[in-house]
Structure 1
Amino acid sequence: MRGTLLAGLGVLAFSGTFPATAFAMRGFDPYLVAIGRASVAALAAALCLMAAGAPLLPPRSQLKSYAVIALSVVFGFPLFSGLALNAGASVSHAAVVVGLLPAATAVCAVLRAGERPRTAFWVASTGGAVSVTIFTVSRGGGSLAVADLLMVAALVCAAVGYTEGGRLARHTPGWRVISYALVVAAPVAVPLTVLLSMTIAQRPTAEAVAGFAYVSLVSMFLGFIPWYAGLAMGGIARAGQTQLLQPPLSLLWAWLLLDERLEVATVAGALAVLVCVAATQRARS
């Protein structure tokens, strides 16, 4: 139960990512938002490591795993999801599509972390995935739009990074896992951030800066601390199903902060995956 609660706290932090990204892109280029947030988060991570007296780099034997996390959740998910929003996907639409993430994470947990959920777990997960797929295809007139394909790429990146981080968090505190991943990504993120900021015109506003600060410090760093700890304690596949709570939470933020209209199909899709999360939490690994 404690692992599920910690993972749920991470999901609460992540649920504000899409609205915050939308705000950030009102004043900053999508590529700068995706790469720049990693640079800011890397600075915060390095400061935390130094304050704790921990090494600034992970053990050499684990560098490959941290490189996978950096490529997937530090670069991949922010970039693809930001481009999806820039390509025309609304925050509400992206929020429901992200409901596929728990199923993708569960598959990665089986392939990489050696977990073996029960049949009931897979039935409930499949139900959630089918609900999201039906919603996405119906909203796209029977086909997937470019923005949907970008979101699928983002989800694959997130599933890989969540699984690898959850596996490492079994032996390393969650805050150090994400900190090391960010430090490993810094040699690429920082120069690219400087280059993008110098070559692309920006229009920073108060709401854009606030959105950028959220995705940098909360989405990219602080949210991962309870998230990875929860995955390690509760099991990657099972605790990862708390992400099914992210679509309805993101819909709420989109309605409150962005004044997006909540259509019946959108709410129905979110409720469908919400029902599935209760079922998956009853199906113990």
Structure 2
Amino acid sequence: MHQSDGIAWGVAENIGRIVLKRQEHANTISRAASRALVGAIDSVLEQQPRVVLLAAEGRIFCAGGDIDEFVAAGPALGALVDDILDSLHPALYRLATAPLPVVAAVNGPLGGAGIGLALCADFVLAAESVKLRTGYAAIGLSPDLGASYFLARRVGAVRAQQWFMLSETIDAQRCLAHGVVDALHPDAELAGAAENLALRLAQAATASLAGIKTLCSGLPVRDLQAHLSLEHQLLTARASGADAQEGVRAFVERRAPRFTGE
């Protein structure tokens, strides 16, 4: 694993891993950490893993931006935020829209930009200690890192707006009930559950998962005619690949398929 400014990353066995390692600062995203996170995302994606796993060390997944750095910036806070987001937002977009599954292992409370980082994932597994607090309005700011987009996608626009406006703490059971997270695990079991899911996805048919993500992520703005056309195009391409041939044979032979990513 490579490491820089509180971010570690690497690719092994077709799984890309990005880990927040600033636990002494609640895994907040400082200017330096944001640069490292951009580099980590680009490095991992360039190696074309089959799945990406986002995780964090310590008791808190990510509390958002580095408030100490915000205070030190004083009147230059706007310039600091602009500098951070100028490269971090495009990197987050590349990660969220990459043609592969992204898994987030949320090991505890999250807030601010940590919401966007966690919820950009296709699968969000959380520890029972998870809590969500948007926090932006409480300090006179508005959302970033896609937090408003990804939270609204999961809980609905009106509920997301209310949560952002009130900055109330949303506990683990409400997070699960409203679809903020997809599953809750005892804290000690979260890492294993996330690794198992990542391994399962890494063994799946890569192009099939990419096609599914492309189709579902384009809704609801794509109309039915365009969607059917895209389904036709993608399925024809998938059916011409080696993984489809292997999958069909394995089904008939009643065995587990051995996908190669072709």
TM over 0.5: no
Structure-2-length-normalised TM-score? 0.25
Q: Looking at both structures, which has the greater relative contact order when contacts are Cα pairs under 8 Å and sequence separation is at least 6?
A: 1
Considering fraction of residues, name the structure with more helix: 1
If you compute each CA radius of gyration, which structure gives the higher value, 1 or 2?
2
